[in-house]
Structure 1
Amino acid sequence: MKSISFFSKYIVRTPTFSYDEVDKVLSSPSCFEQIISNSIFAEAIFIASQSLYKRIYQQNIEKMTKEDIDRIQSSIVKYFSRMSVRSTPFGLFAACSVGEFSSSNSFTIKKDVSRVIRLDHSVLCKIAEVITNPENCADNHIMYYPNTSLYRVFGNKARYIEPSQGKELGRQYLLEEIILTDYLIDVLNSCHDGASLVELSNMIKNKYGTDSTESIEFLHDLVRSKIIVPELYYSVTGDDYLNRIINLPFLKNTRIKKTLNSIKWHTLNDESGIVAYTNIQKELSSIGWEKIDDNLIQIDLVRSSKDFFIGEKIKNDIKEVFYLLRSISPKKNLHRTMDQFKNKFSEVYQLQEIPLVLALDPDIGIGYPVGATRATQSSMMDYVEFPNLNNENETSSIVNRFLENNIAKTIAENQKEIDLTSIFNKIRIDEDDLLDQYPEYSSFFTKIRPFILNNSGEVIIELSSFHGNSALNIINRFAHTSPEIMSICKEIASWENNLGGKDSIIAEIVHLPEDRAGNVTYRPLLRDYEIPYISSASTSRDCTLNIEDLYISIVNNRLKIRSKRLNKWIIPRLSNAHNFVYSKLPIYRFLCDYQSEISDIQAFFPKPSNLKSSTFFPRLKYKNIILSLASWHVDKKEFEHIFDINDDCDLLFQISQWRKHNNIPNRILLCQGDNELYVNLSIPKSIRAFISSVKKSSSFLIKEFSYPNTTPAIMDENGERHCGEVFVFLKIKDN
């Protein structure tokens, strides 16, 4: 019998500014002066967009057109609103804290925040590239290894991925084929565990009688073609990347090492981002690297949670909602891309065990996704997999019929809410059956937003879904920011490392899709094993799994991956939030997709397909839990008459008429992909920022900001309210 339980702590994410101030400031006649005079706001803009910072703080306003001023003011309102309402961490806009469980609730955070400053990962990659370039350092200084994407094909040929960096298109990948000459085979074998170019050159000279110039030039060609790559190549796991560069032995007593240590000092001292940026820029300029990159630093914010506790009632509510949502979610999550591959693999190879690299090769094997061509030729959107939400089960059909019967009634009565308590109370929950498909030691997460009812003080939470083949995905990028967050990550990883039992190994997928992506994909070494792909592993050679060592087969109608060297089943894990479905790299995409073959916990409210195009979808509530806030799809045609109104009084009147006609609340969120913009429809400056965001769209989605007559439950020590969200981590265990 299985059950779900909670990891000991959780993450609280809060905007930098208080919610209490946002409407007050935006309503003030001196709104813009108040905002831009705030030093934290100025610093946040400097880090996020230096071009906007220059327009706000350095450009002569007398030389600007009215259109320029309007655009700048809209940007100021949007950024200020984001820093006051939106909890997603980005630069100085929002901060992370850690909370605990207790018998009762307490949602108190510290007002002050602390910066954690790092060099931007794109800068680190460029520094590593410059330092390890054979033209810039002696040939005996750097250790080289085979490109981790290289694999042998039939005959005397091998293939590998050669990455290149374009100015406009970003990183591009080309599948190259090479002839395995005796020279090359010996080089690849000799640098398997690392070798300098001098060591490799001596090997070639001693074995083949070549002179030094010829052998070194041959090796330099291999480096330029990225057939062999230097240590620290595209590293995204392990110790701090800057420290690893500083500790390269050949940098000892060099000016570069002294400069890098000075840069490290600036990142560790809690200077403002502007000061840190300026000082780091000076340090880089001192050694001729002033043009290395415009994005020099990455900043994360942390704040103390002080007395932040979630009580037993909310814990019980979370578990209850999980079982309810799981009961109406598709019985099995459908992964079309992986299912197509399994079917094709069975058809072509039947019960054979095949090297993964050959099965996924687009020319030799099946490719991945099935039908995809070479890396540089596949269209980004052709193979993006969207979840199948129409896989209704009997329970969800009952709930959907209830919804369909009540939505028309809700609209007719000018209401916004459907209470699902009565229909959910009729659902029979079989917890064993719902958890049966998930293995023990699985982990997942959910997000809640707590609010306080103004009249009673009762806590209302918004909770819409549960996700994850791992709870680490949402938190691992913040592990470096505090010992408390690192501790949570280690607790989750330690739990997951038991997945699959003694015959299985959890292996971290190591890949850097883009240099700047390292800001959110760099993470600590939490697994015993790694599978590097066009990247460097942080594990020992014995614990590093080469892609040529991986074999796949169908066992008991399930796709399995095995390490031939270790004779163990492999469970790959990508412990970050990279959206890998856009990747054009078959092996990387396959390993990431395969995670869902082991455990992919999803519980959500599947919106009925015949209601997806509805103009209005009501709020869904169960007891004191909001499953979905009311939302509206707005056609531009019904709103565009408001776009060019200059008079504030006329603007407010037209907006009030539109709100009244559509029963739209005063405070809303504009939803554009993952971004949400807070809008107060009674404040002209907020309305104009809203209009500037939707003006070029044919339609847009808005939803109510919160449950009616509530305020955010999170409060700082000064009594100011803060918006916020709590990420709670759960696990499945056998009782």
Structure 2
Amino acid sequence: MTTIQSLHLHPTIIYRTPQFSYNGSWHTCWPPLKQSIAVSASAELNELLAVVQDETDLRRLPQNLRQTIWKYFNRATFRSTPYGAFAAVGVATIADAAQAQGLRIKDQYLHTYPDWLAHRQLEIKQEQVFDKNCLLLANSSWYVAGKDIRYISKEETGYELVDISSSGLIRTLLYSCEAPKAAASVCHEFAATYGEKEVKDAIWQMLADQLLFCSLQPNLSGQEYFERFGFTMREDTKPYIIAERPLASGDIPRSLLRHVPEVVALLAEVLPSYHATALNAFATAFAARFGEKEIPLMVALDPELGVGYGQMDQQVESPLIETLRQSAGNKEQEPSTQEFLIKAIAGTKQRIIQLEELSLPVRKNNLPLANSVPVICTVSDDLVYMEYAGGATANAILGRFSLPLTEIEQHCRQLAASEQAANPDVLFFDVSYAIGSVTDNVNRRKHIYPLQLSIHNFDTSEKPLHTGDLMVSVHGDQVFLRSKKWGKRMVPRFASGYNYMFSDLPLFRFLCDLQHQQVHKNLSLKLRDRISGLSYYPRLQHKNVVLSPETWLITINAINSLPGETVYERLKAYLAERHMSRYLKCGCGDQTLFFDTKDTEHLTALYDHLRKEKEAYFEESWLPVNSLIKDEQGNPFMPQLILTLTHQENIYTGLPEPFFGTSNNLIIPGDDWLYFEIFVHPSRTDDLVCSHILPFIAAHKTAVKSWFFVRYNQDGPHMRLRIQLQDQERMQQVTQQLFQVLKPWMETGIISDIRLRPYRRETERYGELFIEHVEQHFFIDTCFVTAVLTEDMCTDQKYLWALKLLTDCRELLLLPTGDFDRLIAANSAAYCSEHSLGPMDFKALNKAAKELNNNMGLTGSPALTVHYLNMLNSLTATVSIYEPRQRPVQFSALFHMLVNRLFACDQRLQETIIYYFFERSLKTFRAKAILNPCVQ
């Protein structure tokens, strides 16, 4: 977990200011405001405003049109989010010096580009591709699906998967153009084999089918496309504007922002970590279908060949399992920050609650912060209002401003390099995604990361990635991407402020969800978001940092019910009665209005807003007495800052070990293994093993060489039975007799189905060289488990045998003691995090562990002890055949399979309990050793 000691405030700060000073009026600012409106408003509104030249004309306008202009001016005066000319950005630095008093900024300068949709004016002709010797680049999403080529195509209704018949020439061209390649070079290379005309015709057809892109087509990142193309804006071309206010002089005092890093570190400890639901569902579905295999990314995301993306009753063995199972279904239960906040609000009449006085519970298993965390805040005198914090990288907020400002481009690249330096075992890559609408304006940016994957747009980077190079696998609850070319784990970044949740493209959504894996992105503590439905929320503050503003719910009925001759009298009385702030803000995100309740025009707008909405929440807002940012004439502006908090702690591990690659692991019925899936309720599986499978195996001991079973829930609860035959010719006889043994349960419906399936050995997990050794261990492991089941042991006895195994493995130095203890701690933490266990759950676990130690002793027959010793020896021998660096992973995998066989249901929760109990016993042992050095 990231600590305050490791979190640093980066000296480079991006400031954002509205177009106008808050000392101005919309009447005096009309000429520049009219120009700004002209760029963003509809043609109808611009036609109405064209005749307005001065204040006299303004006053003649209808009330509704005056209100529209007032809202535009309000946006251009009190809202700092850049949009057209309504707000601007600039770059400043933090100074430690006491004399740092703020910034002086120059006049606004407009960086003007053609609107993104202007590229539709450009028509590419076939002869241009070859006459200009354009670069050709394969669609990064293509892959082989049977006899066809499948890829992402952009149609009028959106993106879709398209199939075309494959041919040798098409595949040759796709492989040849994985990186940009000159058309002349491609034609020359393959003309002798296929003929020049055929190659050119194929290239043109592939361009038309969107299987190829050429350098005449748009790119979203890198050198600006219209500049690269030599595009000249026509008079009717709508502009895309990023406004800049260059710094004239000054610095920002560090003392003003000194508490921001500590409050972010605190929020990272008490707020729940974000886990993308779609990514979790993908990991579960992938693991169920492919295990730990590596699959090409596009195949994994294919709804037919893989598991797709974004689509998405068992018995209770003990009260403890029921408690933990309920927690696993509620991700917000651990620990309940909401409950603490509700108590804080209910228990005080104060208008300001200090966060540091609440003693919020710390979450033990929270994810670390990203290496660069953006913080957007508004500053008013000594107060810092934190509007947003979190995400996977600060470049997501800053990227769009790299297009016009070299200083921001350099800052973004420095952050990207710093992220890479902190995580040397992975490679970061940017995702360049074309939405196909005007929204693509915000996705335009310079190259920030050295590597880039472009989705459906041309790529001008030096080292473009393509999805065919990316392999996906799932280990534990983590999704891994590996580049075949670079041989490293790949971590995506999306250096754009576009809200990717609006996209319906599975590939893009997957990559954006994946960028948030392993980082704590959720750092907002706005009370109204955490506790809904209240009519009043006090301010939540940490020292001088406001986390949640004082907020009131106002209804039109409440105002109209008050006495008073006019609306203004009733509204003023209502505001005074509720002790509301003079300055209020209403709306959400960057769609907000600012109100000065002592200004009649503002009150008119406030009442008009309520009349339309019926009710609305209003937050306290501020106007600085002495603004941090002024222009060279001394006019003050509403200052908004984008801070970047950084740390150099390693977040991402490399590729999981061991990595064995792929092999021919398929065994079909008729070879030496038989594999059955027997669908039966979990409560019947132990009985199935003891009363049917064991007698069957005993009756066919001359035919059976080894066997084992695994419990599964995919496609319904079932048991997977795998039998290795002494003689393949006995396959039909063994199969028929097994069906005969199970026939009574099938007739009564206890067994709903039996399927004879091909057996895919898990060579990716265990290694092709070692899989037979592992299968032999599974046989010995199964013999021990069936001995336990035969003796009808209770759940606590099963815990004790599992704990004995962990104890013996530790004492036998299967791994060095320190490594073993760290493995136990890591596994325990991972399982507790998976099930979102909180204080009440840990209390129940501690109570159960104490009762187990006090009231229960290990029991079992001599025969069971023999089976246990055989299993222990087999486990240690199996783990020992691997390289030392691979042994922790293999031990965890083999122990996981033991627990799976030992318990009829909730196996992952049972494993959570066992690891927690054992880690607790280790802590107790170490504590006693410290208190009594004689304890060994």
The TM-score, its normalising length taken from structure 2, stands at 0.61
Partner of 1:381: none
Q: For 2:59 and 2:360, locate their aligned partners in 1 and report how far apart those are by CA, in whole Å.
A: 59
Change (3 A) 1:649 1:47: farther
1:7 aligned residue (2, 7, 10): 10
1:281 aligned residue (234, 245, 250): 234
Deviation at 1:17, TM superposition (A): 0.9
Partner of 2:403: 480
Q: For 1:133 and 1:600, locate their aligned partners in 2 and report how far apart those are by CA, in whole Å.
A: 48
Query: Could you tell me whether the CA contact under 8 Å between 1:465 and 1:602 is conserved in 2?
Result: no
Question: 3-state SS of the aligned residue for 2:584?
Answer: strand
Partner of 2:298: 357
Partner of 2:593: 677
Give RMSD over aligned pairs: 3.4
Question: 3-state SS of the aligned residue for 2:514?
Answer: helix
Q: For 1:389 and 1:55, locate their aligned partners in 2 and report how far apart those are by CA, in whole Å.
A: 53
Q: For 2:39 and 2:389, locate their aligned partners in 1 and report how far apart those are by CA, in whole Å.
A: 33
> Deviations 1:230-278 (Å, cap 9, x if unpaired)?
22533111122233213xxxxxxxxxxxxx4xx4xxxxxxxxxxxxxxx
Partner of 1:526: 448
Q: For 1:418 and 1:389, locate their aligned partners in 2 and report how far apart those are by CA, in whole Å.
A: 29
Matched, 1:73 2:66: yes
Question: 3-state SS of the aligned residue for 2:281?
Answer: helix
Change (3 A) 1:451 1:205: closer
> Deviations 1:116-167 (Å, cap 9, x if unpaired)?
22222222x235x42x3327666664333222221112x2112111113x4x
Query: Could you tell me whether the CA contact under 8 Å between 2:218 and 2:225 is conserved in 1?
Result: no
Q: For 2:379 and 2:95, locate their aligned partners in 1 and report how far apart those are by CA, in whole Å.
A: 16
Change (3 A) 1:601 1:310: farther
Change (3 A) 1:220 1:309: same
**Paired amino acid for 1:86:** R
Partner of 1:244: 228
> Deviations 1:373-403 (Å, cap 9, x if unpaired)?
xxxxxxxxxxxxxxx9834526664454222
Query: Could you tell me whether the CA contact under 8 Å between 1:327 and 1:396 is conserved in 2?
Result: no
Change (3 A) 1:429 1:369: closer
Q: Relative contact order, CA 8 A, sep 6+: which one is greater?
A: 1
Question: 3-state SS of the aligned residue for 1:575?
Answer: coil
Deviation at 1:346, TM superposition (A): 1.5
Matched, 1:726 2:656: no
**Paired amino acid for 2:472:** I
Q: For 1:147 and 1:89, locate their aligned partners in 2 and report how far apart those are by CA, in whole Å.
A: 33
Partner of 1:118: 113
Change (3 A) 1:67 1:697: farther
After TM superposition, list the pairs within 5 Å mapping 1:283-432 onto structure 2: 293=237, 295-304=238-247, 306-311=249-254, 313-330=255-272, 332-371=273-312, 390-393=332-335, 397-406=339-348, 409-410=349-350, 417-420=351-354, 423-424=357-358
Query: Could you tell me whether the CA contact under 8 Å between 2:88 and 2:242 is conserved in 1?
Result: no
Query: Could you tell me whether the CA contact under 8 Å between 1:139 and 1:196 is conserved in 2?
Result: no
Deviation at 1:308, TM superposition (A): 2.8
Change (3 A) 1:98 1:218: closer
1:546 aligned residue (466, 477, 490): 466
Query: Could you tell me whether the CA contact under 8 Å between 1:161 and 1:173 is conserved in 2?
Result: yes
Partner of 1:173: 159
Choose 1 or 2 for highest CA Rg. Answer: 2
Deviation at 1:493, TM superposition (A): 1.5
Change (3 A) 1:299 1:55: farther
**Paired amino acid for 1:679:** F
Matched, 1:634 2:565: no
Partner of 1:657: 573
Change (3 A) 1:367 1:639: farther
After TM superposition, list the pairs within 5 Å mapping 1:505-584 onto structure 2: 505-540=427-462, 543-584=463-504
**Paired amino acid for 2:552:** W
Matched, 1:163 2:116: no
Q: For 2:228 and 2:617, locate their aligned partners in 1 and report how far apart those are by CA, in whole Å.
A: 46
2:138 aligned residue (146, 165, 175): 146
Change (3 A) 1:60 1:530: closer
Change (3 A) 1:205 1:463: closer
Query: Could you tell me whether the CA contact under 8 Å between 1:629 and 1:706 is conserved in 2?
Result: no
Structure 1 unaligned regions, length at least 5: 247-259, 264-279, 283-289, 372-387, 411-416, 453-458, 643-647
Deviation at 1:305, TM superposition (A): 5.3
**Paired amino acid for 1:281:** R
Partner of 2:699: none
Matched, 1:444 2:373: yes
Change (3 A) 1:65 1:303: closer
Q: For 1:614 and 1:512, locate their aligned partners in 2 and report how far apart those are by CA, in whole Å.
A: 41
Query: Could you tell me whether the CA contact under 8 Å between 1:329 and 1:392 is conserved in 2?
Result: no
Q: For 1:364 and 1:67, locate their aligned partners in 2 and report how far apart those are by CA, in whole Å.
A: 66
Deviation at 1:684, TM superposition (A): 3.5
Change (3 A) 1:538 1:215: closer
More displaced stretch, 514-523 vs 525-534: 514-523
Query: Could you tell me whether the CA contact under 8 Å between 1:91 and 1:301 is conserved in 2?
Result: no
**Paired amino acid for 1:308:** D
**Paired amino acid for 1:438:** P
Q: For 1:72 and 1:223, locate their aligned partners in 2 and report how far apart those are by CA, in whole Å.
A: 48
After TM superposition, list the pairs within 5 Å mapping 1:451-470 onto structure 2: 451-452=380-381, 459-463=382-386, 465-470=388-393
Q: For 2:560 and 2:513, locate their aligned partners in 1 and report how far apart those are by CA, in whole Å.
A: 43
Deviation at 1:724, TM superposition (A): 1.4
**Paired amino acid for 2:162:** E
Query: Could you tell me whether the CA contact under 8 Å between 1:666 and 1:680 is conserved in 2?
Result: yes
Q: For 1:696 and 1:118, locate their aligned partners in 2 and report how far apart those are by CA, in whole Å.
A: 37
Change (3 A) 1:305 1:86: farther
Matched, 1:597 2:517: yes
**Paired amino acid for 1:716:** D
**Paired amino acid for 2:620:** E
Deviation at 1:714, TM superposition (A): 3.1
Q: For 1:48 and 1:110, locate their aligned partners in 2 and report how far apart those are by CA, in whole Å.
A: 25
> Deviations 1:487-537 (Å, cap 9, x if unpaired)?
322221221122431x32111111121342332111111222111221222
Question: 3-state SS of the aligned residue for 2:456?
Answer: coil
Query: Could you tell me whether the CA contact under 8 Å between 2:154 and 2:160 is conserved in 1?
Result: yes
Deviation at 1:405, TM superposition (A): 1.6
Query: Could you tell me whether the CA contact under 8 Å between 1:506 and 1:527 is conserved in 2?
Result: yes
Question: 3-state SS of the aligned residue for 2:459?
Answer: coil
Query: Could you tell me whether the CA contact under 8 Å between 1:670 and 1:678 is conserved in 2?
Result: yes
Question: 3-state SS of the aligned residue for 1:475?
Answer: helix
Partner of 1:98: 91
Query: Could you tell me whether the CA contact under 8 Å between 1:446 and 1:728 is conserved in 2?
Result: yes
Q: For 1:140 and 1:722, locate their aligned partners in 2 and report how far apart those are by CA, in whole Å.
A: 50
Query: Could you tell me whether the CA contact under 8 Å between 2:270 and 2:360 is conserved in 1?
Result: no
Deviation at 1:46, TM superposition (A): 1.8
Query: Could you tell me whether the CA contact under 8 Å between 1:109 and 1:303 is conserved in 2?
Result: no
Query: Could you tell me whether the CA contact under 8 Å between 2:585 and 2:592 is conserved in 1?
Result: yes
Matched, 1:667 2:583: yes
More displaced stretch, 608-617 vs 42-51: 608-617
Change (3 A) 1:14 1:421: same
Change (3 A) 1:464 1:579: closer
Change (3 A) 1:734 1:662: same
Query: Could you tell me whether the CA contact under 8 Å between 2:378 and 2:386 is conserved in 1?
Result: yes
Query: Could you tell me whether the CA contact under 8 Å between 2:342 and 2:531 is conserved in 1?
Result: no
